[in-house]
Amino acid sequence: MAAAVAARETTINLRAPAAQRALIDRAAEVQGKSRTDFMLEAACEKAQQVLLDRTVFALDTRRFRRFVELLDAPVDTHQALTRLLAKRAPWER
């Protein structure tokens, strides 16, 4: 992760129950990371997920209509996709 290598410019302070700290420490140790690196990576991953889940894009009327047309259009049949969808999932076997 590039951010973990960058110079650290600010401080983030947390208070947590001992059990949570122990859990974080065990997980960090398993991954060979410091508590700080582990927590920063986990927090950044979660922050990215939250922000990506709320990404909004705006379209003018013409582009929105085209977007809806594409969504509503029938899907082209592809042999590979048809074969894949015909297979039973491993958990259904």
Whole-angstrom Cα distance, residue 34 to residue 52? 27
Q: The domain containing residue 61 runs over which residues?
A: 18-86
Tell whether the model's pLDDT for residue 1 goes beyond 60.
Answer: no
Tell me, yes or no, whether 8 lies in a domain.
Answer: no
Tell me, yes or no, whether 77 lies in a domain.
Answer: yes
Quote the number of domains for the chain. Answer: 1
From 12, 36, 14, 15, select the one nearest 25 (Cα to Cα): 36
Element counts in the chain: helices (H) and strands (E): 5, 0
Residues 28-83: tens digit of each pLDDT:
999 999 999 999 999 999 999 999 888 888 899 999 999 999 999 998 888 888 89
Tell whether the model's pLDDT for residue 16 goes beyond 80.
Answer: yes
Tell whether the model's pLDDT for residue 89 goes beyond 90.
Answer: no
Tell me, yes or no, whether 41 lies in a domain.
Answer: yes
Tell me, yes or no, whether 79 lies in a domain.
Answer: yes
Contacts of 39 (CB under 8 A, 6+ apart): 14, 24, 28
